[in-house]
Structure formats: structure tokens, C-alpha cells
Amino acid sequence: MSKRWLIATITALSLIVASCGGDGETATTAGETATTAGGATTTAAEGEATTTAGEPAESTGYEHLDQAMAGEFEGTTVEIVAQWVEGEEENFNLALDPFREATGIDVQYEGLPDYELALQTRVDGNDAPDLAQIAQPGKMAQYAGDGVLVDISGWFNVDKLAEEQVEGFVDLTMVDDAVYGVYYKTDVKSIVWYPVAPFEEAGYAIPTTWDEMTALSDQIIADGNGNPWCIGIESEAADGWVATDWLEDIVLRTAGVDFYNQWWKHEVPFNSPEVLAAAEQMSAIWFAPDYVYGGNVAINATNIRDVANPMFDPAGPQCWFQKQASWIPEFWPGNRDVPDRAEWENPPGEASSFFYLPGIDPAVGNPVLGAGDMFVMFTDGDRPEVRALLEYLATPQGAQAWIEVGGFISPNTTVPTDWYTSYPNTDLVPILNEADAFGFDASDLMPAEVGAGSFWTGMVDWVAANGEGTEEIFQAIEDGWPAG
């Protein structure tokens, strides 16, 4: 029986998993599981109003946000930090501006380089911001265990949040029945970017299977057209996460979502035979002669923002494929530091487009890997104006400006679909509609010591060894898994 997602809004794409068409089962989620599920549709709650210009309707359903909109916190200040810099920083500020204007609250946003390290350093120095973006539920749980986060369940309308967000996201913010965050943004990772015009001029065709993708890589080399793949995993304090994404995508495609969920929950060893087999499949691209621009040394040395530079070389592509989520065009040459997308030299959808990272095992099908970003509140930030901003970020209007410029998918299922008018969001729908299952980023779900620690560093070591010593490196990650 064929399997398809039936999705009522683009926002529901990020965590709903596929279903046996027409069987009427309700959707399960990828926070706790990532299995196949039914095709129920989701619509905005009856009578729920929205406004233009990013401002929520008069009654928001959130107590502190309503008070803020009435001007009760005018003149106060809220500090919020995230990893979004350059173009993404511009977009997030656009989304915050309506709140600033409507409430009179001075929202001070800072995009931090070396984000994970910078945030941890501030927390350790008793200088935590009011609100902070966190990508890893495991890291959120670590901060919660350290007692530095606010359990928002006592005052936040969690019932409304759970009703409006894609099922499973609220669960990912919980530790022992306490709620510590609000998901704001989601990403789809199972896509591969390529340069459109050179690709067509060379007569290449979009691969629809893994074998076709490998054959095309071989053809690019045979044609003397440089290296097929653009790969780099240097990311300041987060080196290695690009490699973990690759491994996770391959585990989903070879071992299936049931095993994938057992893996991140550590119900099976990290270095299970299925994972070692996925690493071997990955090494056939990452470490094959002439496959990657600059080889393994360049993989470890190239910052993620610079990976695609050779793809846009004026002399023609020096590498052709970059596997990365939909936000990456912000950092392509000619786009960085250019706030007006109309002035980008390499606009997505024109200079470069993407295709779905093909499946590997037909019995497993075509899964999708994704992730998300939540906001958490630190204990010193528990003030009504900070609560109001966190509530605002849970509304459709809290993301409207960013959605409308593109490169953003919200987990809020009440976001009007006509806000999603720009590429690449419009082209993500067909990919996700054909997906057989969804897996939430495993490294984000693992304990922080692993998912944002030994898994990242282990992959860096593996790349430095040019794919050698796989069993030893993966055994070390398994041995370092925290007890309990």
C-alpha cells in the first residue's frame, strides 16, 4: 500500500509522519517515536482571528501577551539570544518588530557566534539571558536538571500550545511533567542543493535513487567537472553536527524509523551493527577519492557558511552537491550580509535548487530527517514582560515576517497557508508529501553529553582519520553514554 502524508498546512510538515493512505489512523510523532501514521488534517481553531502586520488579534489566549498588548509593560527590556546571525538575524528581528511596536517593550536580540559555547559560558558565569534559543532537547534537559530554567507550565497556556502545535513538539520540551520551552522553528534536512544552470548545461538529471546519485557523482568526476560534493563540518563550538546529520539520514534510510528511535533512546547500543553499516555507506561518499572538494582535511577545516563557495565559482562549479537544510542560502557568496533578498547574487530557486536525498533500501522507503529550535526562559528572566515575549513567539504572528520572506517553517498549525508564498517552502511540500516517515534529529534528542558532545567530536575524529577506525571511534561514543 502506498504511503503519503496528508498535510493541511505547511507548518504541519515538520513532525507529522507518514500514513497508510486512507486508513484513518491518527498521527504519531517523532519526539517519542517516528513511525508511520494516519492522514488526519489540521485546521485553525474556529473563530480564531489573526491580523496583518504581525500583531495577534485583540484576544491572544495568552495572559501576559494580552497585558503587554494593553501597554502594561511599556518601557521594560527583554534580552533574547539565538544562533541566528547575518541574514537570519535580520529575519528574526523583522519577526520581533511588531511586538516591539505594539507593546513598547525594548526587545534586545543578539545573535551569538560559537553559540553553544557562548551560551554555556554566560550561564556558568551567572549572566544568562532572559530567553535563549536551544536546538537540542537534550541540552534543554541538562539546563533544566541544573535548575537554571523556568518551568512555564504554571502560567503558560500549555493546552493552547499543544492544540496548535504539531503533535509531539510540546512533549520534547518536557522533563518529568514540567515544561521548559516553546518550539518556534522547524527545519527539514533531507535535501541536496545543486547549481541549476550548470547542472542543466551539463545534461545531468536529478537522481531519484541512491544508486543514481552515486552514478551521477562518478559521471561528474569522469567529465572532468571537479568534485561532486561540497562538504564542511567546522562550526565554531559545534564542529561535527553536519556529519551527525548525514549519519542519521542514512540510518533512517537503511535501518528504518523503528530502529532509529531505539537508537537515540539508547535502547540499542550506539555502535550497533546497523549504525556501523550506515557509517560504511556514508564513507563511500565522504572518503571516496575525488568525491569531496578538498578531501577529508577540507571537510574538517571548512566552516558550514563557506561550504558552497566552490559551487558558485565564477569559472564554474568546483563541487556540485551540498546536503543542508533550507536556511543555507543565507550564507552563499553574494547573499551574505545582503538584507534585501531581491539583491542576492545567488537566489535559491534560481542559482541553486534542491532535490530530496534519495532513499537507499526500498523496503524502508523514503524518510525525512528534521529538527527544530525552541526558546527557554532562564530563572533570572521570569518577569511578566519576558513571559509576554515567550507567549508571542508561540503565536503565528511571532514568526509571520520571517515566514513571508522565506526559509522558515513554523510548528504552529494555525499559521495561514497563504503566508508560505516564497521558495524554498513551496518546494518542500512535494518532498514531504512523499515521505514515508519522519525522524527528529537524533543527536538533538540524545543526552547533551553525547548528542552535542561525543557524537559531534567523534565524527570530527572519524573524518580526520579519513574514515578509518570506525569501530573504535563509535565504541568510544557508546562507552561515554551517561548512565541512567
**Terminal alpha carbon distance of the chain:** 40
What lies within 8 Å, CB to CB, of 199 at 6+ separation is: 320
Which residues are registered as beta bridge partners of 195?
A: 352
- Write out the DSSP string of 83-97: S--THHHHHHHHHHH
Distance CA 108, CA 130 (A): 10
pLDDT confidence bin for 433, thresholds 50/70/90 = low
Least confident of 209-218, 270-279, 405-414, 454-463: 405-414
**Fold: same for 63-188+369-440 and 191-326+352-365+460-479:** yes
Q: What is the pLDDT of residue 470?
A: 98
Least confident of 145-149, 213-217, 294-298, 404-408: 404-408
Mean pLDDT of 335-345: 89
Q: How many CB atoms lie within 10 A of CB 222?
A: 9
Annotated domain spans of the chain: 63-188+369-440, 191-326+352-365+460-479
Question: DSSP letter at 375?
Answer: E
Q: Pick from 64, 112, 65, 104: which is nearest to 86 by CA?
A: 112
- The three cell numbers of residue 347 are 537566489
Mean pLDDT of 89-105: 97
How far is CA 66 from each of CA 47, 60, 77, rounded to the nearest angstrom? 18, 6, 17
Q: What is the pLDDT of residue 45?
A: 38
CA dihedral defined by 188, 194, 197, 198, rounded to 10 degrees? 180
- The three cell numbers of residue 301 are 577545516
Q: What is the pLDDT of residue 49?
A: 38
Contact present, 316 and 195 (Cβ < 8 Å): no
Q: Is the pTM of this model over 0.75?
A: no
Residue 269 burial (10 A CB sphere; 0-12, 13-18, 19+): middle
Q: Pick from 104, 38, 94: which is nearest to 71 by CA?
A: 104
Q: What is the pLDDT of residue 429?
A: 54
Mean pLDDT rounded to a whole number for the chain: 87
Q: Is 194 left (phi over 0), alpha (psi -120 to 50) or beta?
A: beta
CATH says 63-188+369-440 is which class? alpha beta
Give the chain's largest Cα–Cα span. 67
pLDDT confidence bin for 57, thresholds 50/70/90 = low
Determine what percent of the chain is predicted with pLDDT higher than 70.
87
Distance CA 222, CA 193 (A): 21
Q: Pick from 279, 271, 95, 56: which is nearest to 263 by CA?
A: 271
* CATH code for residues 191-326+352-365+460-479: 3.40.190.10
Distance CA 248, CA 411 (A): 22
Whether pLDDT at 51 is above 80: no
Q: Pick from 479, 462, 452: which is nearest to 119 by CA?
A: 452
- The three cell numbers of residue 450 are 553525547
- The three cell numbers of residue 56 are 495577534
Enclosing H/E stretch for 285: helix 273-286
User: How many Cα atoms are found within 13 Å in the side-chain-facing hemisphere of 71?
Assistant: 0
Q: Determine how β-strand 319-323 pairs with β-strand 3-4.
A: unpaired
Backbone angles phi, psi at 375, to 5 degrees: -110, 140
Contact present, 391 and 155 (Cβ < 8 Å): no
Q: Pick from 351, 355, 291: which is nearest to 323 by CA?
A: 355
Distance CA 60, CA 76 (A): 21
Whether pLDDT at 234 is above 60: yes
Mean pLDDT of 68-74: 97
Find where cell 537508537 sits. 263
Distance CA 241, CA 451 (A): 9
User: Of residues 119 and 409, which shows the higher confidence score?
Assistant: 119
Enclosing H/E stretch for 144: helix 137-145
Whether pLDDT at 40 is above 90: no
Whether pLDDT at 58 is above 80: no
Contact present, 355 and 236 (Cβ < 8 Å): no
Q: What is the pLDDT of residue 407?
A: 80
Provide the residue type at 346 as one letter. N
Whether pLDDT at 424 is above 50: yes
Secondary structure class of 467 (helix, strand, coil):
coil
Mutual angle of helices 273-286 and 241-264, in 10-degree steps: 160
Q: Is 24 left (phi over 0), alpha (psi -120 to 50) or beta?
A: left
Q: Determine how β-strand 131-134 pairs with β-strand 77-82.
A: parallel
Q: What is the pLDDT of residue 417?
A: 79
